[in-house]
Amino acid sequence: MMLTIRNLTVAVEGRRILDGLDLDIAAGEVHALMGPNGAGKSTLANVLAGREGYEVLEGKALLDGQDLLTMEPEARAQAGLFLSFQHPVEIPGVSNLQFLRTALDCLRKARGEPPLDSAALLRAAREAAQLLGLPADFLKRGVNEGFSGGEKKRNEILQMLLLEPRFVILDEPDSGLDVDALKLVAAGVNRLRRPDRAFLIITHYPRILEYVRPDRVHVLHGGRIARSGEAELAHQIEAGGYAAVLEGSVA
């Protein structure tokens, strides 16, 4: 397994959000994680990425056998983890190009690779920006500075394309996107699908799963995976809501 989560139990300010969560994702697979508001989907993403403010009470999360939960956020990224944020932060004064160059240099250094030369980086960034429909001056602008919600989401995908992580968590990549932007984001994800890479897509709605076909769909409820199934499960949720698909499941 590329990602193995066992009995993950996490509290925020004393309240258990995740409660014994188990999840396995193999290389080459795309999994979708769905669930009602407040189920803990973003908590799982943040805990895996190493954000502060979450208390891990029990359990483990292994990425390619490495214990993520003991690692600093940058070490997790260097191990191949990438989180596409639900609400990407704006960083005025740090240009997208400077940010991408620094991040890529750090990741390549961690992988024992030489820095990418500036021309190659610029070429790759421009190509990705074009693919995602980002404006031409985007590289000069501050990270997410003044970006619309859709541009921020597309910028996350652009970073993913350039940084080439092994395991990608997309936290609601579809929220706030119109259908054209959604297709661009989905195209970016599909472009990166490979047998040695895996994805976990966190979403409320099955719409994005029309464009990025998942191998497995999970429903998070009561702090753990309450139901898992094939891609068809997303349509059942769309048709009958969470209550219907969770009926009879053990939460």
Partner 1 sequence: MNTALAVCHPCGWAEDAATRAWHEQLAERLATLTPPTRKNEFWRYSRLSACFAPERAGRGLDFPFPSPEPLTGEWIRLDQGRPVAAHTRVWRLRSWSELDEATRARWRERLEPDEDYFAVRNLVEADAVLLLELEQTADAPLQIQYRHGAGWVQPLLLVDVAAGARGALVETFASFGPSTQNGAVHLWLGEGAELTHGVFTADEEQALLHRVRARLGARARLDVQAFAAARRYQRLEWDVTLGESATLRLSGITQGEPEGSADVALRIRHAAPGATTDVRWRGLVPAAAHSAVIGRILIEPTGQRTDAAMRLDHLLLADGAAADVKPELEIYADDVACGHGATLGRLDDEALFYLRSRGIPEVEARRLLIDAFLAPVLQRFTLAEVLRHVHSRLPLPDDAAA
Residues that bind partner 1 (CB under 8 A): 49-52, 72-74, 76-78, 82-83, 85, 88-89, 91-94, 98-99, 102-103, 106-107, 110, 142-143, 159, 163
Sheet of 30-34: strand order equals: 81-84, 167-171, 198-202, 30-34, 216-221, 224-229
Q: Please tell me the distance from the alpha carbon of residue 225 to that of residue 144, in angstroms, as a whole number.
A: 33
Q: How far is the CB of 144 from partner 1 (least distance, A)?
A: 9
Rank residues 33 and 83 by Cβ distance to partner 1 and give the closer one: 83
Q: How far is the CB of 113 from partner 1 (least distance, A)?
A: 12
Rank residues 73 and 176 by Cβ distance to partner 1 and give the closer one: 73
DSSP tag of 213: -
Q: How far is the CB of 86 from partner 1 (least distance, A)?
A: 12
Residues 6+ apart with CB under 8 A from 194: 28
Q: φ, ψ for residue 108 (rounded to 5)?
A: -65, -40
Q: How far is the CB of 72 from partner 1 (least distance, A)?
A: 7
CB 28 within 8 A of CB 210: no
Rank residues 91 and 244 by Cβ distance to partner 1 and give the closer one: 91
Rank residues 106 and 231 by Cβ distance to partner 1 and give the closer one: 106
Q: How far is the CB of 45 from partner 1 (least distance, A)?
A: 10
Rank residues 49 and 124 by Cβ distance to partner 1 and give the closer one: 49
CB 225 within 8 A of CB 25: no
